[in-house]
A and B are shown apart, each in its own frame.
Chain A
Amino acid sequence: MDRIAVAVSGGKGDFRLDMAFDTPANGVSVLFGPSGCGKTTILRCIAGLERMPGNVMVAGQVWQDDSKGVFLPPHHRAAGYVFQEASLFAHLNVRENLEFGRKRRMAQPAQGPSVDEMAGLLGIAHLCNRKPKHLSGGERQRVAIGRALLSAPRLLLMDEPFTGLDRQIKKETISLFLDLRKRLGIPALYVSHDMAEVAALADVMIVMADGSKVTQGLPSEIFEKVELQSATGRFEAGTLVVATVSDKDSQYDLTRLDLSGQALFLPGVDAAVGEKVRLRIRARDVSLALGRPTGISIRNILSGQITEVVAEADTAFAETVVDIGGSRIRARITRMAVDELGLVPGKEVYALVKSVSFDRRV
């Protein structure tokens, strides 16, 4: 019942789209794929801004059903759309922008957060009387998110809304958005081609390439799959693992985490002792050794067993998967190293992890 089910197929010039997916109508589903693979077109079809043959069902409501000739116009679909550029109304101030959807969509204006509450939650209360042209990029995008959320959507559609924000602002805006979304219980479909964003946001990941679906599943499962490289991109390829915060070391400003019984030390983890967190470890940040190295600056050395070795055709590299007591991480090393160290599935190795990024609390 509470599903988002979309199937659209059609062509636009040379481009062909043939996409079908079904994802729970709660949490954040990320549509992931390279630019130009049709992600934005999917969102536009769901919002009704574009029309292609197919069906769109959102949380029990039929928005498009070609077999019955149903196609709701966009203003009859409760879809909050946050575009890549904030697209605020230039002739209205922040407050009027926030009110725009709320006035038109709310059956009973009393339900849901008020404009002032939303402005407070987003930290933009002090900007209410400003015109959009006097806002920074991050502020504009927060207003756009607030405006969409205030229109009481059944589904939030987000088209890489944080692209172009600088790293720190992006990180803050994403965690603000996640908290707010959870609080309001509005499901989101989020388009992205950025692995770090997916890791931070996704509950479900839908991988797209060339106008159709490649795979769908939990981000941690998909990140492990070596064969999905072409879709996920080599540079950012890696895995997601879940670890538990076990200690805070105030002397060195490090957090000690427990990953399947082994210790990891990380700076800048915003979580309390006992909390579970999601970490992303990129394959290119992992080296392998046959014995535990000593006299080395790398603090995170995990012992495990190789489960998979895949040589990349036409390059010097190979992708390996190492099982660390149940968690799997990937290492991207040269094929030469694979041969000289005799790395085959079953081999005991030490994974030297140069860098880990903390993505979010689980």
Chain B
Amino acid sequence: MGTAELASILWLTLKLALVTTLCLLVVGTPIAWWLARTRSRFRDVVASVAALPLILPPTVLGFYLLIALGPSGPGGWLAGLSGGRTLAFTFEGLVIGSVVYSLPFVVQPIRNAFEAFGERPLEVAATLGASPWNAFFTVALPLARPGFLTAAILGFAHTIGEFGVVLMIGGNIPGETRVISVAIYDLVESGDWGTAHLLSAGLVLFSFTVIMVMLRLGSARGEG
């Protein structure tokens, strides 16, 4: 495997993780806010659905995503808007799949952060003239910052590590859906153990660093 190809794989993986993390924060925040604040009896139902990817085998998730993203699903309709036929086996499709797959890792820490500070700061903000939107942006979001940091790191790392869902809905198209985890599988299949070693060791180092950083952040917060 050439250097250019390796670079392309790394870049694609990084791009996928970044875009996915961004989408996760945008999608996950309102869900986490609702779960933290609502008294609706549907709360636990929604919480369970959002947590499903924790337990489901990636193949099951990938299978349904494949149908949803395919020509006869909503994904196909969406692709049709820009002249395509399907979102399966595209980068965009992969982002959608990754967002669903990593959602629990982002919703949970943000929800915890929102729940941790309770109603009081929002009540204080209201009595000081802050509208609910204003209080959300100037009080709730800053107070939940540690939760967002954890969520972003977890979402990013989890996306880099995914394999099953990618294989099911993305395949192995160079430059489009061929990310590190899939490439390693491919390299082993084709007997290129040297490159597989390189990428695998890289991922071990990466994962170790992520966990270290998280622990450090956690203890820094505890001491502060």
Q: Kindly supply a per-residue 1/0 record for chain A positions 33-70, scoring 1 wherever the CB is within 8 Å of any chain B CB and 0 otherwise.
A: 00000000000000111000000000000000000000
Question: Is there contact, CB below 8 Å, between A83 and B134?
Answer: no
CA A48 to CA B132, docked complex, whole Å: 13
Interface string of B139-174 (1 = CB under 8 A from A): 100110100000000000000000000000000000
Q: Does B131 contact A (CB under 8 A)?
A: yes
Indicate if the CB atoms of A74 and B143 lie closer than 8 Å.
no
- Chain A residues with CB under 8 Å of B214's CB are none
Asked, given contacts A75-B130, A90-B143, A91-B145, whether A100 binds B125 with beta carbons under 8 Å apart, the answer is: yes
Query: CB-CB < 8 A to B120: which residues of A?
Result: 83, 85, 87
CB neighbours (8 Å) of A90 from chain B are 117, 121, 143
Assess the A74–B145 pair: CB atoms within 8 A: no
Q: Which residue of A lies closest to B123 (CB)?
A: A49
What residues of chain B lie closer than 8 Å to A49, measured between beta carbons? 123, 126-127
Residue contact B130 to A81, C-beta cutoff 8 Å:
no
Q: Does A332 count as interface, using CB distance less than 8 angstroms?
A: no
Please give, as numbers and ranges, the residues of chain A lying within 8 Å of B134 by CB-CB distance. 75, 104
Q: Is the CB of B131 within 8 A of A75?
A: yes
Q: Which residues from B are CB-within-8-Å of A78? A: 129
Pick from A74, A85, A89, A147: contact of B126, CB below 8 A: A74
Chain A residues closer than 8 Å to B130, beta-carbon distance = 75, 100, 104
Interface centre among B124, B126, B142 (most CB of A within 10 A): B124
Given contacts A74-B123, A87-B120, is CB(A147)–CB(B143) below 8 Å? no
Query: Closest CB of chain A to B39's CB: distance in Å?
Result: 14
A77 surroundings in chain B (CB, below 8 A): 127
- Among B121, B124, B128, B139, the residue within 8 A (CB) of A105 is B128
Interface flag for A151 (CB, 8 Å): yes
Shortest Cβ distance from residue A90 to the other chain B in the assembled complex, whole angstroms:
7
Q: From residue A336, how far is it (CB to closest CB) to chain B in Å?
A: 52
Give residues 132-156 of A contacting B (CB, 8 Å): 147-148, 151
Q: Nearest residue in B to A151 (C-beta to C-beta)?
A: B128
Interface residues of A (CB under 8 A from B): 47-49, 73-75, 77-81, 83, 85, 87, 89-91, 100-101, 104-105, 147-148, 151, 157
Mind listing 6 A-B residue pairs with CB under 8 Å? A49-B126, A83-B124, A87-B120, A90-B143, A101-B129, A105-B129
